[in-house]
Chains A and B, each alone.
Chain A
């Protein structure tokens, strides 16, 4: 996160003229957003959404897609970063696509998020127990083991996955496969 100031030029000039302080507030910070997009269940709709991000220069940090309870609808979970102005543009551009049925920004709501990670790491006699200890702490599962490597499965919020990968980084990580974030609003 950075503290980039993103007031529009007109706002800055007006604030200056009115003698108001020009300070970035929380809404003007670059922030990670989790957006759920319900689209028609077709490859065309999926590509159109992704294409919009690249054509308009928005970021995608992760994207997952899968069919929902309604087989004609796909749910895309998109993680993107930007200040509030960029995010509101992202949401408007998404809503404007013909194939999008609903667009929800979960960021400021109460929601659960999960990600799945598979991680393959080299071990030897010295590191074996330390690696298993870390896994124990993160409550991962060993899904494959050879004389040289171990593969772990870990589920949880993206932050937990990142912390796990960080902890394993002191050993020789061979491969990391992450599913990308899925998220859902809690019922109040």
Chain B
């Protein structure tokens, strides 16, 4: 064990103190700086876009970028957190790995929220952070921070590159780790002297990591066992999570569900994996899921979990969740299996592969009676809100749905509008719903929408990018609007303005005797129209349903820059139905009048 990594003082490496280079490599490759090796490696990795912000520790990389003009685009963001969320939005919209480059110290710490967000939501991003020269590490140098240490528990893996020889291999491994298995963020810390040093460049063709294996072979006996359990069940339910989206299993899932007649409920991140207009779709389950999806969970005798992790926002109180169900768990990450809910049959593997191999072992099932029962629940407590002449958030989301017909990439921030989007948008396609679910990061929406818009442009898709945000969260990363404007991205930014931190307000009203402590934003909110205009975007405002329809039409006419649509809505509106935190899934509050037995 080498204990010297953080303590030993290293001499600053310069070009002439480089380790000896093997002759066969020298003879085939050109000598270049570490900074150029980084850029060439990214080119070799097929990177098309990078979100970054320069600074002292990475100035050499920016210098080389200026000199060699690499084959990918660099987007200068205005805050490193915005950069990481943009990379997430890009990754989730396209399925590719997002790339971020920032400087040391504050540059690195500003990425922490985005990295943690990507870790919780399994988003493949690689974050390159600058670092002080190796010889200064540990000396409290200017703009020094232990980036690897700070992010250790929120990355899938991380590297501190101490030797230019390891640089190209590290980049290769970082992208491999981020992309494969359960995707996740990887951090690569790059000391300045490594970027300044010179060495020959050769990009490795393969990775060789003995400790990292992605489960590939699916065990046939597990598939047969699952098929038997499905055949024996009377009231089966597919519970689909983000894994079905990240493995692009939407088609396989849809085919399996329709063939067998098993109803499907999705988590927040599973939205879009199964078309919500299909009669078999029960929409979202969990805390703000539909009444009928949660009733189905409570009464089903088999749960087929597909790329989902039994999060507490899904299960509520664990000891009364799905009391009658056996569980089949299809999952690529072994640590998710039997973590919260015991899996009677766990199938480890890529969700898409497993579903494709499982499908031929299944027969159509007669689920008519079960579906009829679910329909009764569906009638019992439909999703509804008051429809009058007032502008309401749910109505805004329905209008956006009508405008796009569901063919749009919808990015949401965190809060009430996020839940209403999940409830009322009716997602049809995979990768059209992007949100911060696990970490619940306010300020995610705007930069993630920008990243998604760059992704759509790259793959030549004409799908509009719509960001639905609250007034609280939007302000947290509003600075990226000018970046989107500079690149002429026609993003539609819907700000649902209730002049409150709505979700916290809702909890204060329901569980804290209406003590609205520090959730009123009316004094501190900016003028959103002026804010948009100051960032070279178009700003529009609506106070009534009619105005809302008009500004949406107007916004869709703008094609050369982002449009911010401010929808001024009532502050009292709440998200229903709701399972209070820690309550049993069976105990949903369906409206304001439900007795608060849980308080």
Using CB atoms, name the residue of chain A closest to B158.
A44
In the complex, whether A172 has a CB less than 8 A from a CB of chain B is no
Nearest CB of A to B188, in Å? 13
Q: In the complex the two chains form, what is the Cα distance from A88 to B333 in whole Å? A: 14
Q: Is the CB of A13 within 8 A of B1?
A: no
Chain A residue numbers with a CB within 8 Å of B209 are 98
Chain B residue numbers with a CB within 8 Å of A42 are 1-2, 5
Interface residues of B in 281-315 (CB under 8 A from A): none
Q: Is the CB of B322 within 8 A of A10?
A: yes
Interface residues of B in 1-24 (CB under 8 A from A): 1-6
Using CB atoms, name the residue of chain A closest to B181.
A96
Nearest CB of A to B240, in Å? 19
Q: In the complex the two chains form, what is the Cα distance from A89 to B343 in whole Å? A: 13
In the complex, whether B334 has a CB less than 8 A from a CB of chain A is yes
Q: Is the CB of A98 within 8 A of B6?
A: no
Q: Is the CB of A44 within 8 A of B323?
A: no
Q: Is the CB of A65 within 8 A of B1?
A: yes
Given known pairs A43-B3, A44-B148, A96-B333, the reply for A10 and B212 (CB within 8 Å) is: no
Q: Is the CB of B152 within 8 A of A14?
A: no
Q: Is the CB of A51 within 8 A of B1?
A: no
Chain B residue numbers with a CB within 8 Å of A14 are 323-324, 326
Chain A residue numbers with a CB within 8 Å of B341 are 8, 10
Q: Is the CB of B321 within 8 A of A93?
A: no
Q: Is the CB of B1 within 8 A of A66?
A: yes
Nearest CB of B to A174, in Å? 28
Chain A residue numbers with a CB within 8 Å of B319 are 9-10, 12-13
Q: Is the CB of B337 within 8 A of A92?
A: yes
In the complex, whether A48 has a CB less than 8 A from a CB of chain B is yes
Nearest CB of B to A14, in Å? 7
Interface residues of A in 102-122 (CB under 8 A from B): none
Chain B residue numbers with a CB within 8 Å of A8 are 318, 338, 341-342
In the complex, whether A160 has a CB less than 8 A from a CB of chain B is no
Given known pairs A39-B211, A98-B157, the reply for A9 and B321 (CB within 8 Å) is: yes
Contact string, B209-241, partner A, CB cutoff 8 A, digits 1/0?
Answer: 111100000000000000000000000000000
Using CB atoms, name the residue of chain B closest to A65.
B1
In the complex, whether A134 has a CB less than 8 A from a CB of chain B is no
Q: Is the CB of B5 within 8 A of A92?
A: no
Using CB atoms, name the residue of chain A closest to B303.
A10
Q: Is the CB of A98 within 8 A of B177?
A: yes
Contact string, A17-47, partner B, CB cutoff 8 A, digits 1/0?
Answer: 1000000000000000000000111111011
In the complex, whether B550 has a CB less than 8 A from a CB of chain A is no
Count B-side interface residues using an 8 Å CB cutoff. 37
Q: In the complex the two chains form, what is the Cα distance from A17 to B341 in whole Å? A: 18
Chain B residue numbers with a CB within 8 Å of A153 are none
Q: In the complex the two chains form, what is the Cα distance from A171 to B1 in whole Å? A: 38
Q: Is the CB of B211 within 8 A of A92?
A: no
Given known pairs A43-B3, A48-B152, A98-B156, the reply for A11 and B342 (CB within 8 Å) is: yes
Contact string, A117-141, partner B, CB cutoff 8 A, digits 1/0?
Answer: 0000000000000000000000000
Chain B residue numbers with a CB within 8 Å of A173 are none
Which one of B156, B158, B211, B321 lies within 8 Å of A40 (CB-CB)? B211
Using CB atoms, name the residue of chain A closest to B211.
A101
Q: Is the CB of B1 within 8 A of A41?
A: yes
Q: In the complex the two chains form, what is the Cα distance from A74 to B3 in whole Å? A: 12
Nearest CB of B to A2, in Å? 20
Which one of B149, B325, B339 lies within 8 Å of A89 (CB-CB)? B339
Chain B residue numbers with a CB within 8 Å of A100 are 211
In the complex, whether B327 has a CB less than 8 A from a CB of chain A is yes
Q: Is the CB of A85 within 8 A of B338?
A: yes
Q: Is the CB of B335 within 8 A of A43?
A: no
Q: In the complex the two chains form, what is the Cα distance from A86 to B220 in whole Å? A: 27
Q: Is the CB of B6 within 8 A of A43?
A: yes
Q: Is the CB of A51 within 8 A of B153?
A: yes
Q: In the complex the two chains form, what is the Cα distance from A104 to B1 in whole Å? A: 20
Which one of B5, B152, B212 lies within 8 Å of A51 (CB-CB)? B152
Q: In the complex the two chains form, what is the Cα distance from A98 to B339 in whole Å? A: 20
Using CB atoms, name the residue of chain A closest to B325.
A10
Q: Is the CB of A46 within 8 A of B322?
A: no
Nearest CB of B to A73, in Å? 9
Q: In the complex the two chains form, what is the Cα distance from A51 to B327 in whole Å? A: 31
Q: Is the CB of B211 within 8 A of A9?
A: no
Given known pairs A10-B322, A14-B324, A43-B5, the reply for A96 and B335 (CB within 8 Å) is: yes
Q: In the complex the two chains form, what is the Cα distance from A47 to B418 in whole Å? A: 37
In the complex, whether B320 has a CB less than 8 A from a CB of chain A is yes
Given known pairs A17-B324, A51-B153, the reply for A98 and B211 (CB within 8 Å) is: yes
In the complex, whether B160 has a CB less than 8 A from a CB of chain A is yes
Q: Is the CB of B334 within 8 A of A92?
A: yes
Interface residues of A in 45-67 (CB under 8 A from B): 46-48, 51-52, 55, 65-67
Q: Is the CB of B5 within 8 A of A55?
A: no
Chain A residue numbers with a CB within 8 Å of B157 are 98-99
Q: Is the CB of A43 within 8 A of B1?
A: yes
Nearest CB of B to A24, in Å? 15
Q: Is the CB of A10 within 8 A of B327?
A: yes
Using CB atoms, name the residue of chain B closest to A89.
B339
Using CB atoms, name the residue of chain B closest to A51.
B152
Q: Is the CB of A10 within 8 A of B338?
A: no
Using CB atoms, name the residue of chain A closest to B210.
A101
Nearest CB of B to A20, in Å? 14
In the complex, whether A167 has a CB less than 8 A from a CB of chain B is no
Using CB atoms, name the residue of chain B closest to A42.
B2
Q: In the complex the two chains form, what is the Cα distance from A72 to B99 in whole Å? A: 31
Given known pairs A12-B319, A17-B324, the reply for A95 and B334 (CB within 8 Å) is: yes
Chain B residue numbers with a CB within 8 Å of A55 are 153
Chain A residue numbers with a CB within 8 Å of B325 are 10
Chain A residue numbers with a CB within 8 Å of B327 are 10
Which one of A47, A88, A95 lies within 8 Å of B152 (CB-CB)? A47
15 A-B contact pairs sorted by A residue (CB < 8 Å): A9-B319, A9-B320, A10-B319, A10-B341, A11-B342, A12-B319, A13-B320, A39-B211, A41-B1, A46-B1, A65-B1, A85-B342, A92-B335, A96-B334, A98-B211
| Chain B residues engaging chain A, CB cutoff 8 angstroms | 1-6, 148-149, 152-153, 156-158, 160, 177, 209-212, 318-327, 333-335, 337-339, 341-342
Would you list the 9 A-B pairs with minimal beta carbon distance, nearest first? A9-B319, A55-B153, A8-B342, A98-B157, A92-B335, A13-B323, A43-B5, A101-B211, A92-B334
Known: A8-B342, A11-B342, A98-B177. 6 other contacts (CB 8 A): A9-B319, A13-B320, A14-B326, A42-B2, A92-B335, A101-B211
